[in-house]
Amino acid sequence: MTTDDPPQSAADIASAVASGRTSAQTTIAAALARIRERDPVLNSFTAVTEERALKRAQALDAARARGAPLGPLAGVPFAVKNLFDVAGLPTLAGSKINRSYPPARRDATLIERLEDAGAVLVGALNMGEYAYDFTGENVHDGPSRNPHDINRMSGGSSGGSGSAVGGALVPIALGSDTNGSIRVPASLCGTFGLKPTYGRLSRARTFPFVASLDHLGPLARTARDLALAYDAMQGFDADDPVCADRPAEPVTPLLQRGADGLRVAVAGGYFKCKSGDVCYAVDRIASALGANRDIELPEAERARSAAFVITATEGASLHLDRLRARAKDYDPAVRDRLLAGALAPASLVVKAQKFRRWYRQQVLDLFKEVDAILAPATPCTAPLVGQQTFMHGDVEMPVRANLGLYTQPISFIGLPVVAVPVPMNPLPIGVQIIAAPWREDVALRLADMLESKGVVGAPLPAV
Amino acid sequence: MDVLVEAGTKALGLPLDPTWTAAVIFNLRLILQHGARVDEFALPDDAEPAPIYRA
């Protein structure tokens, strides 16, 4: 494969490597060449682990030569948001401050699990500072760029993950999602993104943001690749106290079931689209799924407010010592929000957590009537880099705080969501397929079916 | 709000450069607006917060 060939899916790469049609070393060398050629424009990588990747690819080829099993992701290059521990690298979390920390001694659990499945880590990815971001802009490393228009945002905070996958540098990347940080860049960069159920995937050895709300998950160019990566990462991990003690529930074998028997509704009220692009995308998917019923998530706007309060205060608590010692080394936009969060009354935080339980029960009741709910992923397509506001209906809103206004009320109660890309001209936009807790299979089946019908898909990058 | 921010940061031992004050106040107001929306929602006295700690 050359740098000009169309992007290959992870499933195709693994099949080719396992069968011997190509080698892991050839595949990884091609991925590294793509990164060298295109990333100076996209700025999605902050570190490329070339030596490690080539060594790993060599080991995979040697394993194949002696007849050893390679795993379902054999030879698949992947990269991770730079808040994942990568042995030998400092875990930046998008910051200047963490650059002075010692290198990680062990990979994050999810990296270990993907590599156990045969995948090959090729680097760490740009992100918004300390994940407090929806834009993909970073004052220390520069913005990661949108692969469909480099003058536009990638979305954040997993901006490098969206840019690298949307730009076809790698077929799979990992990100984190506290309030929408996988789904927002997936939407703006035209990729699939999975935010699993809260507690499904281990967060061990990653830099946190808001422990009550932090999730990790994959971005990919196909729904099947998303499922393959997700399946490889499932399972209990005692190193993350939030990780649920439940067996892995593989989804990939279930994809062929499609939408059969699934009841789908469209979120109304707070989630009602307010712009032409967003309405078109939701309508297109609703029509393909025969979803002709609206359903209202009660008090969704209040849920977003509660998530906002918990985020500001828990995030501030995490950073108190760093703020005392190195406040001037933060991105000012992050620092000022963290300082404000440190001053918010604890009584409001406890009330937000009480409201969270109430809201969860109301939404769970909805899943007695439906299996999945559709909602926009972002209120607009990718804004320009540096753009400060956008129009939401008739209201002008700040970009940084509001790109996640549709994602926050969902992650607030930990529901699994697949963001699917609707390829529009000139820019794609995503739609959330939301399922009941622990039913990632429902959202992934629908995403795969929509992709097979050509309703959704990752567009080829312009870069 | 100026007094609250100045006293609050002092009590917590947090730095506050005078050039940051306006932005911190802006963000605190925003958090309090969201907090007020949560606070005005009536919950029963026995409502449990979402996180559960088990000894």
Written as tens digits, the pLDDT of chain A (463 aa) is 455 677 899 999 999 999 999 999 999 999 999 999 999 999 999 999 999 999 999 999 999 999 999 999 999 999 999 999 999 999 999 999 999 999 999 999 999 999 999 999 999 999 999 999 999 999 999 999 999 999 999 999 999 999 999 999 999 999 999 999 999 999 999 999 999 999 999 999 999 999 999 999 999 999 999 999 999 999 999 999 999 999 999 999 999 999 999 999 999 999 999 999 999 999 999 999 999 999 999 999 999 999 999 999 999 999 999 999 999 999 999 999 999 999 999 999 999 999 999 999 999 999 999 999 999 999 999 999 999 999 999 999 999 989 999 999 999 999 999 999 999 999 999 999 999 999 999 999 999 999 999 999 999 998 8
Instruction: Note the maximum CA span of chain A.
Output: 65
Q: What is the average pLDDT score of chain A? A: 97
Our answer to whether residue A161 is catalytic in this structure is: no
* Cα separation, A197 vs A106, whole angstroms: 25
The residues near A175 (Cβ < 8 Å, ≥ 6 apart) are A81, A127, A157, A158, A161, A162, A181, A182, A185, A193, A216, A217, A218, A219
Tell me whether residue B47 is in a domain.
no
From residue A399, alpha-carbon distances to A154, A193, A404, A420, A445 in Å are 13, 21, 9, 21, 32
Tell me whether residue B28 is in a domain.
yes
Kindly report, residue by residue over A63-89, the tens digit of the pLDDT: 999 999 999 999 999 999 999 999 999
Note whether B51 contacts A212, CB cutoff 8 Å. yes
Q: Of B14, B35, B39, which has the smallest distance from its Cβ to A323's Cβ?
A: B14
Q: Of B4, B23, B43, which has the smallest distance from its Cβ to A343's Cβ?
A: B4
Q: Of B14, B33, B38, which has the smallest distance from its Cβ to A352's Cβ?
A: B38
Phi then psi for B43, rounded to 5 degrees? -125, 150
For A307, the closest chain B residue by CA position comes to B34
The residues near A356 (Cβ < 8 Å, ≥ 6 apart) are A303, A306, A310, A412, A413, B49, B50
Kindly report, residue by residue over A216-235, the tens digit of the pLDDT: 999 999 999 999 999 999 99
ipTM (interface predicted TM): 0.96
Kindly report, residue by residue over A242-301, the tens digit of the pLDDT: 999 999 999 999 999 999 999 999 999 999 999 999 999 999 999 999 999 999 999 999
* Cα separation, A214 vs A412, whole angstroms: 10
From residue B25, alpha-carbon distances to A145, A306, A319, B4, B32 in Å are 31, 19, 18, 9, 10
B53 pLDDT more than 80: no
Residues in A touching B51 (Cβ below 8 Å): 212, 353
Our answer to whether residue A157 is catalytic in this structure is: yes
Our answer to whether residue A187 is catalytic in this structure is: no
Optimal mutation site among A339, A348, A357, A364, interface B, most CBs of chain B within 10 A: A339
Alpha-carbon distance A333 to nearest alpha carbon in chain B (angstroms): 8
Optimal mutation site among B25, B31, B43, interface A, most CBs of chain A within 10 A: B31
Tell me whether residue B6 is in a domain.
yes
* Cα separation, B2 vs B29, whole angstroms: 11
For A414, the closest chain B residue by CA position comes to B50
User: Hey, CA dihedral for A181, A193, A228, A44, is it positive or negative?
Assistant: negative
Domain count of chain B? Answer: 1
Q: Of B34, B35, B47, which has the smallest distance from its Cβ to A358's Cβ?
A: B47
Residues in B touching A327 (Cβ below 8 Å): 14-15, 17
- The residue from A81, A187, A195, A275 that is catalytic is A81
Residue A125 pairs with which residues in a beta bridge? Answer: A45, A81
Residues in A touching B27 (Cβ below 8 Å): 312, 336-337, 339-341
Q: Of B17, B35, B49, which has the smallest distance from its Cβ to A357's Cβ?
A: B49
The alpha-carbon radius of gyration of chain B (Å, integer) is 16
- The residue from A23, A44, A144, A157 that is catalytic is A157
- Cβ contact A281:A376 at 8 Å: yes
Note whether A327 contacts B48, CB cutoff 8 Å. no
From residue A335, alpha-carbon distances to A131, A188, A261, A324, B18 in Å are 12, 26, 49, 11, 14
> What's the pLDDT score for residue B55?
73
* Cα separation, A82 vs A181, whole angstroms: 13
Domain boundaries, chain A: 10-452
Alpha-carbon distance B39 to nearest alpha carbon in chain A (angstroms): 7
Tell me whether residue B52 is in a domain.
no
The residues near A452 (Cβ < 8 Å, ≥ 6 apart) are A258
CA angle A194, A200, A206 (to 5 degrees): 80
Q: Which of A75, A79, A73 is nearest to A48 (CA)?
A: A79
Note whether B14 contacts A302, CB cutoff 8 Å. no
B39 CB within 8 Å of a chain A CB: yes
Residues in B touching A340 (Cβ below 8 Å): 5, 24-28, 30-31
Tell me whether residue B13 is in a domain.
yes
Residues in A touching B13 (Cβ below 8 Å): 324
Q: According to the CATH classification, is domain A10-452 in 3.10.180.10?
A: no
* Cα separation, B53 vs B36, whole angstroms: 27
For residue B13, the enclosing domain spans 2-39
* Cα separation, A18 vs A70, whole angstroms: 7
Cβ atoms within 10 Å, residue A212: 21
- The residue from A181, A202, A212, A275 that is catalytic is A181
Note whether A309 contacts B35, CB cutoff 8 Å. yes
Tell me whether residue B51 is in a domain.
no
B16 CB within 8 Å of a chain A CB: yes
Cβ atoms within 10 Å, residue A90: 18
Lookup: tokens for A132: 């407090």
Residues in B touching A358 (Cβ below 8 Å): 43, 47
Residues in B touching A354 (Cβ below 8 Å): 43, 47-50
> What's the pLDDT score for residue A3?
58
